[in-house]
Amino acid sequence: MTKTVFKSKTIPIVISAMFAAVLVGGKQALSALPNIEVVTLFVALCAYVWGIKIVLFATNVFILCELAIWGINTWVISYLVHFNVVAVAFWLLSFAKTKGVWKVISPTILAVVLTAMFGVLTSAVDTLIGFSGGFFIVAKDFAKRFAVMYATGIYFYLLHITCNLILFAVGFIPLVKINQKAKQKLLVEEQGESI
């Protein structure tokens, strides 16, 4: 794997900051709508086009900003795991040589699976911390408690999955094309896919 060379060394920092701002702004703009979000889409887009270093910086700045806005709670653990996994998964997907309809289907399937796993992750974290009667104490009846926690959020998880299914099926590839054109203008010479 070789390096991508930008015209300026500050470009990756600026791109990271721009994506962090888009993540925070997108999250805040849609915060009144339960489980309708664009954060997963933009984390995936950043990873897919701009590379792992840029996306990990942007993602973790976004999480720090969310901490400043909302304070600490169990969601922090879920965000740290989920959005970093999304970043790595879509960065790895960028190396796949998909053609035709698979260019749309592959990212959409990956997004749907990761979104579904987010519901499992948040339920598990909430069960371990908030619903177990202690901090990271696995109760004897963890499975029952987890099932109750997951079942209470199933409507929201299905809404979340549907949102990302539509966003990725319709918007991911057009956004990738726009970002790839922008990236080409910022490169000295493309020598690889990652930074």
**pLDDT score for 133:** 53
Distance, in Å, from the CA atom of 121 to the CA atom of 100, rounded to the nearest integer, reads 33
Which residues share a beta bridge with 5?
189
- The first and second tokens of residue 186, run together, are 């910022």
Structure confidence by residue, pLDDT tens digits, 39-90: 999 999 999 999 999 999 999 999 999 999 999 988 999 999 999 999 999 9
193: pLDDT strictly greater than 70: no
What is the torsional sign of CA 34, 39, 86, 48?
positive
Distance, in Å, from the CA atom of 102 to the CA atom of 108, rounded to the nearest integer, reads 9
Q: Domains along the chain?
A: 10-189 (1.10.1760)
Give Cβ neighbours of residue 181 (< 8 Å, ≥ 6 apart). none
Give Cβ neighbours of residue 153 (< 8 Å, ≥ 6 apart). 119, 122, 123
In 3D space, the residue among 95, 98, 121, 123 whose CA is nearest the CA of residue 108 turns out to be 98
Distance, in Å, from the CA atom of 104 to the CA atom of 44, rounded to the nearest integer, reads 13
Angle at which helices 52-70 and 39-50 cross, to 10°: 150
**pLDDT score for 190:** 44
Structure confidence by residue, pLDDT tens digits, 168-180: 999 999 999 999 9
The phi and psi torsions of 88 (rounded to 5 degrees) equal -65, -40
